[in-house]
Amino acid sequence: MKTWVKLYTEIVGDPKMEQLTSDQFRLCINLLVVAGRIDQDGRLPPMDDVRWMLRLRPEHLARDLKVLAQVGIVTQTEGGWLVTDFAERQARRPSDEPEARNARKRLWRQSQADGIAGSAGLAETQDTAVAAVERGGNAFLG
- All structural domains of the chain: 9-89 (1.10.10.10), 94-134 (no CATH)
Lowest pLDDT segment from 26-30, 35-39, 73-77, 106-110: 106-110
Nearest partner of 86 among 18, 46, 34, 32, judged by Cα: 32
pLDDT tops 70 at residue 127 = no
Confidence of residue 123 (pLDDT cuts 50, 70, 90): low
Q: Are 40 and 77 in contact (CB under 8 A)?
A: no
pLDDT tops 60 at residue 141 = no
The pLDDT value given to residue 121: 53
Q: What is the DSSP string of 50-85?
A: HHHHHT--HHHHHHHHHHHHHTTSEEEETTEEEETT
Strand, coil or helix: 43: strand
Q: Where are the beta strands (DSSP E) in the chain?
A: 74-77, 80-83
Kindly report the length of the chain. 142
pTM above 0.75, yes or no: no
> Could you give the maximum distance between any two Cα atoms of the chain, in Å?
62
Q: Are 132 and 138 in contact (CB under 8 A)?
A: yes
pLDDT digits (tens, 9 = 90+) for 83-109: 999 999 998 776 667 787 788 888 888
Q: What is the mean pLDDT of residues 112-131?
A: 62
